[in-house]
Amino acid sequence: MKKLLLWLLLVLATPAMAQHSGADKTKVLFVGYDPAKPLPDMKRYAPGMMSEKEFTAEYPVRMPAFKALLSQYFAEVKTMDCRDWKPEDSAPYDVTIFDFPTNVVEPAKQEKDEKGKVNYISARYLPDDFSKPVVFIASTADQMGRRIGLKLDWLCLCLDADAHHLNSQHAIFKGPLEKVVPTMVTKQTPDGIFHYATGADVPKEIPMWRVQNTGYLDGKGVRIGLVSRGNRFSESPDVEMISSGVCQKDVGAVALGRHGNFFLWGFGASPADMTEEGKKVFVNAVAYMKQFDGKTPISRKYNDRMATTDDVREIIANVTKKSYDDYVSELKTFNEGNAKENKRLNDKKAAGQALSPEEEAKLPYVGRAQEIDSWETYLKRRMGKLAGRFGNDGPAFQKYLSDNFDYIYCDPDGFFDYSIDEDVQQIGVPNHSVKLLETCVSMLKKNERPELALKVLKRYTGEGFSTAKDWSDWLTKNKKKLFFSETNGYRFIVNTYSK
């Protein structure tokens, strides 16, 4: 064990990095699993959604690898077991890195609202007002950030080893510790991108940047990375989308991004398996986050299952025969693969060979074929509550939504629920435009349909004023600071960062 740790320290301290030792005064706290402590309980699954074998093999290596890399650049680096961390432990440090989730402060629960709807409340790991800069590794971002409304949510635990569509001009490639010109290699575009309307114009091959040496798609049992939803990700001034990555989702899925004082490093590898460029950009990201101390998110996202206008665009684009044919082809391929895996596992079992815990867990599921909808059922599902109005007339459905796109309202508490806001439609001004608020205030002043104006103002601001003067004063004061957030209440929000 001691030889392994010594080897890691020597390998990670390359000449190029050694010259930076102690160069940055940033104090860093790394929170993960301390290999000096016993392994955590893995009765249900291993941390990081790894297999027990993979997690156990990496357990003695992971924290020392991060410690060695960070110590080459930062004046003070402390490591702490995630089972011991408390919010006050981060107070003396400029940046905290969470490699794995800490202890749950409040367990997940279900609550019924006044309408009888059951709502799932995620487990709490952090206080709502936690303001210290944070870097999350992979799935830890969603696990710890969901309760406090971070956009660093769990779209898919399927991020491999390469980044693409990256903003190479972003500060984390410029420094402050290392300047990195990402080595871009043209590779085949992930197939998942082409299953989305946003992938229509993406070439079959795109430039990619290798972040870690080994990906889970290589079949070598490494920690899988996380991508977050890109839909309306960058709608607010407290957010930065830096890069997507190789995964099964759309081209806008977020692999590297920031929301307030929280940063998503979606890739799962420790420095022991990062590329040299990946290591440098990682330490740059840690140093970059120091400036966001106290810059908590302005806009929060508490329902990752709400629809956005990006989702509606996808629905409009997919109500076609071509999209249906792609859907049928995709499900047939999935079912064929499932059937093969089911046969493999059952043959292995019949031969008297023991299945791994992971194989045992998936055996009940791989034998189930996904039902393929008919064209009519496919249309009905995508049209949702508008199916009764348009039947099998896809073009009419598309035209209706396209013609009324400026009035689409997505229910922030719903499950991918959207509608046309007929109140705004009557006024005739797009609901994402500040002009709507100006028009409604003007209507109040002139006593033109005041009930309608007041209803719309309250819906799209969350404010409760009742007089034209109060609304006018509020709008005059905040007009230049307003931005529209779909994911935080589907309303206008004041940019509190703006002076």
In the chain, % of residues over pLDDT 70? 95
Tokens linked to 276? 């040299």
Q: How confident is the model at residue 23 (pLDDT cuts 50, 70, 90)?
A: low
Report the half-sphere exposure of 20 (CA within 13 A, side-chain side).
Answer: 26
| Pairing of the two strands 134-137 and 95-98 | parallel
- The tens digit of pLDDT for each residue in 386-416 reads 999 999 999 999 999 999 999 999 999 999 9
Confidence of residue 359 (pLDDT cuts 50, 70, 90): confident
Q: Would you give the DSSP letter of residue 274?
A: B
Residue 298's pLDDT band, with cuts at 50, 70 and 90, is very high
Check residue 55 and give its pLDDT: 94
Which pLDDT value is given to residue 4? 41
In this prediction, residue 221 has a pLDDT band, given cuts at 50, 70 and 90, of confident
Topology of domain 2-292, CATH: Rossmann fold (3.40.50)
The torsion angle over the Cα atoms of residues 457, 458, 462 and 467, rounded to 10 degrees, is 90
Q: Report the alpha-carbon distance of residue 280 to residue 371 in Å, rounded.
A: 47
Strand duo 491-494 + 482-485: pairing = antiparallel
Question: How many whole angstroms separate alpha carbon 76 and alpha carbon 27?
Answer: 5
pLDDT classification of 364: cutoffs 50, 70, 90:
confident
What pLDDT, on a 0 to 100 scale, did the predictor assign at position 10? 37
DSSP state at residue 77: E
SS3 assignment, position 98 = strand
**What digits encode the pLDDT tens for the residues 440-456?**
999 999 999 999 999 99
Q: How far apart are CA 386 and CA 166, in angstroms?
A: 38
Residue 11 has pLDDT above 70, yes or no: no
Q: Which residue has the tokens 């290591």?
A: 279
Tell me: the pLDDT tens digits for 35-67?
999 999 988 788 998 888 899 999 999 999 999
Q: How far is CA 389 from CA 240, 386, 392, 417, in A?
A: 40, 5, 9, 17
State the Rg of the chain over Cα: 25
Dist CA 252 CA 156 (whole Å): 12
Contacts of 482 (CB under 8 A, 6+ apart): 434, 437, 492, 493, 494, 495
pLDDT at 101: 97
Give, in order, the Cα–Cα distances in Å from 145 to each of 129, 140, 491.
12, 8, 22
In whole angstroms, how far apart are CA 185 and each of 253, 267, 313?
A: 20, 18, 31
Q: Is the pLDDT of residue 8 over 80?
A: no
The pLDDT of residue 22 is above 90? no
Residue the block writes with tokens 């905290």: 96
pLDDT at 175 over 70: yes
Listing DSSP states for 210-242 in one string gives E-BS--GGGTS--PPEEEB--TTTTSSTTEEEE
Confidence of residue 215 (pLDDT cuts 50, 70, 90): very high
Q: Where exactly are the structural domains of the chain?
A: 2-292, 315-416, 422-494
Of 290-299, 352-361, 481-490, which range is least confident? 352-361
Print the SS3 string covering 286-352: HHHHHHHCCCCCCCCCCCCCCCCHHHHHHHHHHCCHHHHHHHHHHHHHHHHHHHHHHHHHHHHHHCC
Q: In this model, does residue 6 exceed pLDDT 50?
A: no
Dist CA 367 CA 118 (whole Å): 31
Say what the pLDDT of residue 237 is. 96
Q: Please write the tens of the pLDDT for every residue from 256-295.
A: 999 999 999 999 999 999 999 999 999 999 999 999 999 9
Mean residue pLDDT across the chain: 93
CB atoms inside a 10 Å sphere around CB 130: 18
Residue 301 C-beta-side C-alpha neighbours within 13 Å: 29
Report the C-alpha gap between 40 and 33 in whole angstroms: 9
